[in-house]
Amino acid sequence: MTWLSSWPGRLRRAVDLYVVALLGTVVFAALLPATGRAATAVGHAADIAIGLLFFLYGARLSTREALDGLRQWKLHLVVGASTFALFPLLGLALGGLVPYVLSERLYMGLLFLCVVPSTVQSSIALTSTARGNVPAAICAGTYSSLAGMVATPLLAAWLIGSTVSFSLHGLLTIVTELLLPFLAGQFCRRWIGAFIGRHKKHIGLLDRFSILLVVYTAFSRGMAEGIWRQMTPVRLLVLLGLAAALLAVALGTTSFAARRLGFSREDRITIVFCGSNKSLATGLPMAAVLFGSSAGLVILPLMLFHQLQLMVCAVIAGRWSRQAAVAAPAPAPRVPAPDRELTPPPSRS
């Protein structure tokens, strides 16, 4: 357990508690799924939670910081290429495993994972721990989330096909549940931004509760479809291995590309974390909108990938932080001032 003790404390607690909460929610949905009128009520509550989630995203986003970040457009271009080009290509490459290793539904989940935007909170925390470019990480995560509101549904409809509810009604649902609350949060930021800044901890708990509610709703619907009949322990291990492989390729590719393109060490750290991470907070609500009652098994790859990225990237961030501390120049030795009592007085002629 010595390697666990080297993790940044905040990330270690987030991994432990959040994994338990997510797994507990899935188990609770399996044992006591919402049915009938309860399912309708929980579905409406999840829709409200999704809207509130994106409203708070909009209220937290500093428009000035987002505009200032445009000056580092090359960095954001590399992150966007990894998120919305590299990952989808990797997802398509996994299509040869169907139906021998992956079922159609699990492959849909992997493809959806590959088109989800980058995360914001964990990328910032990881970049800060590794002593990278934190302002660039804030902007990169923000731009990715904004682009994902359009790119994720379009890519999902293109790669996954007819299963995705990307009709005019589906598009209006995305605008109503995701984009309009986000814009409303941006509009209200001038009045509530300071309040949200003072209560970041409580807002974070509300974010996580909203995500857990979406998970419960999706898996409750999935139980009615018998999704666990399609999931065996072997398939779960295969899915975990494929998620780990996707993360390893993304980490290696972003690191190699950032070096070859001549970015500084701080910018390379930002590119690696922002270009390889995927957002659970954004992906789950989008899956609920795009897949409806079929979202249960589709979100499983994203949940597994999210926990892997937290654990693996926390170790990497801790190692880079120690390397930066070793490489930092030692402070110049302080020269003591001369002792006045030992200094001979000036001679008088």
* CATH number assigned to the domain comprising residue 54: 1.20.1530.20
**In this structure, are residues 140 and 118 in contact, taking their beta carbons and an 8 Å threshold?**
yes
The residue segments making up the domain with residue 253 are: 8-318
pLDDT score for 168: 55
Domain membership of residue 326 (yes or no) is no
Q: Which of 57, 66, 67 is nearest to 193 (CA)?
A: 57
Report DSSP state, residue 229: G
Domain membership of residue 281 (yes or no) is yes
pLDDT score for 328: 64
What are phi and psi for residue 99, nearest 5 degrees?
-100, 15
Domain membership of residue 337 (yes or no) is no
Domain membership of residue 332 (yes or no) is no
Domain membership of residue 1 (yes or no) is no
Question: What is the tens place of the pLDDT at every residue in 337-349?
Answer: 554 444 455 555 4
How many Cβ atoms from other residues are within 10 Å of residue 149's Cβ?
Answer: 17
Domain membership of residue 205 (yes or no) is yes
Residue 182 identity (one-letter amino acid): F
The sign of the CA dihedral 309, 312, 316, 317 is positive
Residue 210 CA to residue 234 CA, distance in Å, equals 31
Structure tokens, 43? 């579905």
Domain membership of residue 348 (yes or no) is no
pLDDT score for 17: 73
Residue 310 CA to residue 292 CA, distance in Å, equals 27
How many Cβ atoms from other residues are within 10 Å of residue 296's Cβ?
Answer: 29
pLDDT score for 7: 46
pLDDT score for 342: 43
**In this structure, are residues 78 and 261 in contact, taking their beta carbons and an 8 Å threshold?**
yes
Q: How many residues does the chain have?
A: 349
Domain count for the chain:
1
pLDDT score for 276: 96
Residue 236 CA to residue 30 CA, distance in Å, equals 16
Residue 100 CA to residue 307 CA, distance in Å, equals 26
What region does 97 belong to: left with phi over 0, alpha with psi -120 to 50, or beta?
A: alpha
pLDDT score for 2: 42
Q: Give the residue ranges of the chain where pLDDT is below 50.
A: 1-7, 10, 13-14, 339-343, 349
Domain membership of residue 16 (yes or no) is yes
